[in-house]
């Protein structure tokens, strides 16, 4: 789906996380741990508050402050607050112009805002700064796929998998990108592999549902979307995709229920999925 992107959670030199003991909230090391939130041990609210304190109270080195901005931007990306994410990533890159992770995050924000050329430029800067950055290749591949540039998209997906074939997101993203390029049936081996690699990951099931939908395998698409929704009942793209599949089967009551639920989760889901070349029938 449009809003799926690979976002590496990583620290850079200069961030010292204290392992093995709890640090008090508001302390420098405690806040760095919470702001980074590498193991997602804290709520998003706790993470963002810690980042705010680090950024606003001073005392951080230039290198660490860039990381703080990047970490807070990751929180904004999770909240779909693209503009605040862009602001923080601009600040991070002003402090550290070679910050690959910040370029990747800014590319994600640009792609969500449909500025695909800016996104591709940022992902390119990310891989120039870090040549083995598989997720940046994956994300650039998705942007190229959205532009309909199959050769460049597939080259980037292949490069990401060559760099890290053990990451289900890299395999699943090639599945999704191929389906977006109207190669749904050809995408399915990648989808199957990604689901096998991460059977409890709703994103992989959602991607296979999308590929099956694009290939016209309606029952299989519904099965995949339903499995994804059992893991997370509020996946807007799975609700929407299943609704479209139900409509294609003539099950308009089920279709309308799913499409209504998808729009309740994300009022922009129709335009989001249209970017991925999936639209609901008129009247539903």
Per-residue model confidence as pLDDT tens digits over 64-110: 999 999 999 999 999 889 999 999 999 999 999 999 999 999 999 99
Task: Classify residue 80 by its DSSP letter.
Answer: T
Alpha-carbon distance 222 to 224, whole Å?
Answer: 5
Instruction: Quickly tell me which residue has 């335009």 as its tokens.
Output: 271
Query: Which class for 257: exposed (0-12), middle (13-18), buried (19 or more C-beta within 10 A)?
Result: middle
Q: DSSP of 157-197, one letter per residue?
A: HHHHHHH-TT-HHHHHHHHHHHHHTT-HHHHHHHHHHHHHH
Q: Which of 18-32, 72-86, 220-234 has the lowest mean pLDDT?
A: 18-32
Q: How far apart are the first and last CA of the chain?
A: 20
Q: Which of 12 and 250 is assigned the larger pLDDT?
A: 250
The CATH T-level fold of domain 1-130 is 1.25.40
**Domain 157-284: CATH architecture, name and number where available:** Alpha Horseshoe (1.25)
Position 7 confidence tier, pLDDT thresholds 50, 70, 90: low
Average pLDDT, the chain: 90
Distance CA 186, CA 189 (A): 7
Task: Answer yes or no: is pLDDT of 34 > 80.
Answer: yes
What token pair was written down for 86?
A: 């862009």
Tell me, what's the pLDDT at 3? 43
pLDDT digits (tens, 9 = 90+) for 126-161: 999 999 999 999 999 999 999 999 999 999 999 999
Query: pTM score, two decimals?
Result: 0.88
Over residues 241-260, the mean pLDDT reads 98
| Whether the domain at 1-130 and the domain at 157-284 fall into the same CATH topology | yes
- The residue behind tokens 């993470």 is 47
- Tokens at residue 115, please? 């500025």
Q: pLDDT-derived band of residue 6, with 50, 70 and 90 as boundaries? A: low
Domain ranges of the chain: 1-130, 157-284
> How many other CB atoms are found less than 10 A from the CB of residue 280?
20
- CB of 78 within 8 A of CB of 51? no
């Amino acid at each position: 789906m449009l809003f799926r992107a690979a976002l590496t959670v990583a620290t850079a030199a200069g961030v010292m996380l204290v392992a093995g003991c709890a640090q008090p909230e508001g302390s420098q090391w405690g806040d760095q741990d919470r702001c980074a939130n590498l193991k997602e041990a804290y709520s998003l609210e706790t993470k963002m508050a810690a980042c705010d304190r680090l950024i606003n109270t001073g005392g951080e080195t230039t290198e660490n402050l860039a990381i703080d901005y990047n970490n807070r931007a990751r929180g904004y990306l999770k909240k779909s607050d693209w503009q605040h994410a862009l602001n923080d990533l601009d600040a991070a890159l002003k402090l550290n112009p070679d910050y690959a992770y910040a370029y990747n995050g800014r590319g994600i924000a640009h792609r969500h805002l449909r500025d695909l050329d800016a996104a591709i430029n940022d992902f390119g800067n990310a891989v120039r700064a870090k040549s083995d950055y598989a997720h940046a290749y994956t994300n650039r591949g998705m942007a190229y796929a959205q532009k309909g540039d199959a050769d460049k998209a597939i080259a980037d997906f292949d490069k990401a998998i060559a760099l890290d074939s053990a990451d289900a997101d890299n395999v699943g993203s090639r599945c999704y990108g191929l389906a977006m390029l109207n190669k749904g049936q050809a995408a399915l081996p990648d989808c199957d592999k990604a689901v096998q690699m991460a059977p409890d990951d709703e994103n992989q099931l959602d991607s296979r549902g999308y590929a099956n939908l694009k290939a016209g395998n309606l029952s299989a698409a519904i099965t995949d979307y339903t499995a994804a929704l059992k893991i997370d009942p509020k996946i807007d793209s799975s609700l929407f995709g299943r609704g479209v599949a139900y409509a294609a089967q003539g099950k308009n009551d089920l279709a309308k229920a799913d499409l209504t639920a998808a729009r309740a989760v994300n009022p922009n889901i129709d335009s989001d999925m249209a970017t991925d070349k999936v639209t609901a029938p008129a009247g539903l």
